Amino acid sequence: MYKILSYKSYKAIIYLFFFILVLCCFQLTYFEGKGPPTTLCSLQAIHNPEDQNASAFLQSSFQNISFCTFFFTFPHFFVVCSPKPSKFFVKWRTLADWQWDWLEGQQRRNSSRRPTMKYVLTCMALLLPYSFAVPIAPDFPRASTERLKLVEAYLDKFFPSFHKTFYSIEEQLKEMQKYFHLNVTGKMDDRTMEVMHQPRCGVPDVSEFRRGPAKWGKNVLTYRINNYTPDMHPAKVHEVIAKAFKVWSDVTPLQFRYTRRPADIEISFAYGDHRDGNPFDGRGGTLAHAFFPAPNLGGDAHFDESEYWSEFGKEANLFIVAVHEFGHSLGLEHSNVRGAVMYSIYTFTNPNTFRLSYDDVQRIQRLYGNFNVSHESKDTVAQL
């Protein structure tokens, strides 16, 4: 069998096919250079729900083709590479010969092997491009590709998955849809995309880093306003911030005091990258973010200056957003209860009639207790 082709030619062919098959079968290729191995079939299934059954059938077929091709090539590779006098060579040579017996049946000794060899190599060359793990550039319209990138960026930021799997995008989509009470399909439907485009808080909805609730170990907290938005008079900013803190002090034993010195909670307005590892994205999208109680940045609240902040406006109401962010500053994570102030999607409520939801009150009181103690002063009016 091995005299049909020259030794060098046969060795080169085996090396080539074995190298390609290793890359294919173990899926060491990445879609656009990031994320887990992704195929055209799976991306189309996520983008278009009707393609899901066809995708599963094609992937199963191509996987079987890849396995059979790999099974044929593997022993021949070791026959060529093994030292001929060794027992290792004899074992792999036996397996390779057995494969030929299986392929050619009872006519192995009486017929020429050249046609069979050419036939097998030709089939391998033709089938490899259709192997399920070969990277194929998806032929989506430009808008669809941009939509997929937006979804990946949103999910990685707000629903991060630190245990990537082959279908991680679909799994993250399902988690996001379940969180926001949408139809759990794992597909990029219109309602899911609508939620992704709504203004929201920049804190992730799901995090695997936090273990247990974070809280302050004291009831008297200080805050400082480092700069002011040009959209509002500084005195109005102080008034709104104080009113937002009072929402939380009215239901807990906490007291908030303004200071011009370094404080527990530092408040600032910033554009884009402001050196905290969480850059803002311009107008719309992320409105603000805050850090849970901890040293250094812990408790600090940052507002995106690209927004147009107002006292009573609906687009980016400073009071509503501040109440939400100060909830994070006190240790509250997002809530998936619609109507709760800690719901991650921004919803305007008239500041004059605003009240915390039952969910918000229960969660903050689990951290700091009920408001059942007397305070000499719970005044948080800015001391200008």
**β-pairing verdict for 200-201 and 301-304:** unpaired
The answer to whether the beta carbons of residues 323 and 287 sit under 8 Å apart is no
- 334 marked as binding residue: yes
Is 342 known as a binding-site position?
Answer: yes
Query: Does 139 show up as a binding residue in the annotation?
Result: no
- 190 known member of a binding site: no
170, 266, 305, 325: the active-site residue: 325
Residue 296 marked ligand-binding: yes
Residue 281 marked as a ligand binder: yes
Residue 285 among known ligand-binding residues: no
Residue 375: DSSP 8-state? -
Judge whether 274 is annotated as a binding position: yes
CA angle 350, 356, 359 (to 5 degrees): 140
**Would the annotation count 304 as a binding residue?**
yes
| Degrees to nearest 5, angle at CA 214 with 210 and 220 | 160
Q: Which of 142, 162, 158 is nearest to 192 (CA)?
A: 158
For residues 267 and 300, is the Cβ–Cβ distance under 8 A? Answer: yes
276 is in an annotated binding site: yes
Are 344 and 206 spatial neighbours (Cβ–Cβ below 8 Å)?
no
Q: Is residue 265 within 8 Å of 245, Cβ to Cβ?
A: no
108 phi/psi in degrees, rounded to 5: -60, -40
325 is catalytic: yes
**According to the annotation, is 328 in a ligand binding site?**
yes
Dist. CA 17–CA 310, nearest whole Å? 65
The C-alpha atoms of residue 155 and residue 196 are separated, in whole angstroms, by 9
Amino acid sitting at position 16: L
Q: Is 298 annotated as a binding residue?
A: yes
The total of other beta-carbon atoms located within 10 Å of residue 86's CB is 10
Residues sharing a CB contact under 8 Å with residue 359, sequence separation 6 or more, in sequence order:
335, 337, 340, 342
Residue 24 known to bind ligand? no
Q: Which residues are annotated as a binding site for Ca(2+)?
A: 231, 264, 281-282, 296, 298, 300, 304, 307
Q: Which residues are annotated as a binding site?
A: 201, 231, 264, 274, 276, 281-282, 289, 296, 298, 300, 302, 304, 307, 324, 328, 334, 342
Catalytic residue IDs: 325
Q: Which residues are annotated as a binding site for Zn(2+)?
A: 201, 274, 276, 289, 302, 324, 328, 334, 342
